Amino acid sequence: MSIFLSNEIIVFLLIELILIVLMAISQVNIVSILRHWDFDATTPLQYALEKKNYLVNTILYFTVTCKVILFLFFIQSLNSLAGIVPGAMCSAGVVGSNHYGNALLLLKLLLIFGFGLWLIVNKLDLASITFPYLKRKYLLFTLLFVGVLGEFVLEILYFSNIPLTVPVFCCSVVFQAPKLPFGYTQTLLVLFFYTLLGAIVLFNTLKQTMASFTCNLLFLFIAYYAITYFFGLYIYEMPNHKCPYCMLQKEYYYIGYLIWGSLFLGIFFGIMPFLIERITKKSYVHLLKYSSICLLITAIVCSFYVVRYYFMTGVLL
């Protein structure tokens, strides 16, 4: 039996291939635009390039939007594969079934952040009459296109190497203790979680983009461990159930989508203003307030499960 017999995987890879073809067509036109673009020129070539620029942007908006939707479809497909891969109880076993899974998931997250950055830079470029960021946004897209090609190769390697006859490790084994970074205890990890969150909200209020950028990257690292090894215990109401994926399933009312979604959105809004300033020299600090809102939602939802469990049982896990 092959993993490619799964309808979800066939559809997923087919759509990915179609998007790559569209992006490749756009990339060919981008090379032409980068080579010959001169906004001050009044030649027929420049006029044709400007029309081609709008066409390329339309295609790229479509492909980037589809890539974001496909990421959610990919996560859902991992959950469905848990019923096919022997030993897998959730996405943890499927992702960790070979050496390519974690690298692929990380690359997908980086590309999502990169596409989000491109969308913002592209919006600023189109809003200006002279297209001041055209070359920079297309150079950024070229890097993203190379990343998408690498992503597709990783997808083929990953799906073709998922074992269907040998049992894989389930989440209880993959995330067994001790796994906390630097020897942190759960108490210290949670303390860092709330301290960093407070610092981010403060820096966002003060509109300190570089400080917020740094703290958000650190918070992403700390929040992953805090949610997996502390808050998740109260979601599952089990002291030994440590997994970032099971909370995405219907048994837990898909609460993981809200927790991880708000976390990643908060990090995205927190790091983008600094990156946009570096690329466009324009201030985009209004995104910082959305960062604070999203991260506070993450913290409130996580804290709710801890408080609820304590009131129900009178003890902490």
194 and 302 share a domain?
Answer: yes
- Mean pLDDT over residues 173-192, rounded? 74
What is the reported pLDDT for 232?
93
Please give the Cα distance from 219 to 134 (Å, whole number). 33
Phi then psi for residue 170, to 5 deg, are -90, 175
Kindly state whether residues 129 and 186 are assigned to the same domain.
no
Residue of higher predicted confidence among 223 and 174: 223
pLDDT at 185 over 70: yes
Written as six digits, the tokens of 280 are: 């466009």
- Count of structural domains, the chain: 2
**pLDDT tens sequence across 103-140:** 999 999 999 999 999 999 999 998 888 889 999 999 99
Residue 98's contacts (CB-CB under 8 Å, 6 or more residues apart) are 158, 161, 162, 163
pLDDT-wise least confident of 22-31, 92-101, 211-220, 261-270: 92-101
From CA 265, how far away is CA 260, in angstroms rounded?
Answer: 8
Q: What percent of the chain has pLDDT over 70?
A: 94
Residues in the chain: 317
Question: What pLDDT, on the 0 to 100 scale, is given for residue 199?
Answer: 98
Distance CA 102, CA 93 (A): 11
Q: pLDDT at residue 178 above 60?
A: no
206/212 Cα distance (integer angstroms): 10
pLDDT of residue 39: 84
pLDDT band at 290 (very low <50, low <70, confident <90, very high): very high
161 and 182 part of one domain: no
Last residue of one domain, picked from the residues 139, 169, 199: 169
pLDDT of residue 317: 84
Task: Identify whether residues 184 and 298 lie together within a single domain.
Answer: yes
Residue 45 C-alpha from the chain's centroid: 39
* Per-residue pLDDT band at 161 (split at 50, 70, 90): confident
> What pLDDT was estimated at residue 162?
86
Rounded to the nearest 5 degrees, what angle is found at the Cα of 172, between the Cα atoms of 167 and 173?
A: 60
195 shares its domain with 161? no
Q: Which amino acid is it at 94?
A: V
**Residue 146 near residue 89, CB atoms below 8 Å:** no
Cβ–Cβ < 8 Å for 273, 287: yes
- Give pLDDT tens digits for 195-214: 999 999 999 999 999 999 99
142 shares its domain with 183:
no
Q: What is the largest CA-CA distance in the chain?
A: 77
Range of the domain at 16: 3-169
Q: What is the pLDDT of residue 207?
A: 96
Is residue 182 scored above 70 in pLDDT?
A: no
Residues 141 and 203 in one domain: no
Q: Residue 298's pLDDT band (boundaries 50, 70, 90)? A: very high
Q: Report which of 306, 217, 304, 305 is spatially closest to residue 263, judged by C-alpha positions.
A: 217
Q: Which of 102, 276, 270 is nearest to 199 (CA)?
A: 270
Same-domain pairing of 163 and 205: no
Q: Tens digits of per-residue pLDDT, 64-104? A: 889 888 988 888 888 878 777 887 777 888 888 888 999 99
Boundary-marking domain end, from 148, 169, 190: 169
Mean pLDDT of 218-243: 92
* Structure tokens belonging to residue 193: 């979680």
How far from 156 is each of 70, 108, 145, CA to CA, in Å?
Answer: 15, 14, 17
Q: What is the DSSP letter of 39?
A: T
CB 113 within 8 A of CB 147: no
242 with 301, same domain: the answer is: yes
What is the pLDDT confidence band of residue 174, given thresholds at 50, 70 and 90? low
Cα three-residue angle 147-149-153, rounded to 5 degrees: 115
Residue with tokens 């799964």: 6
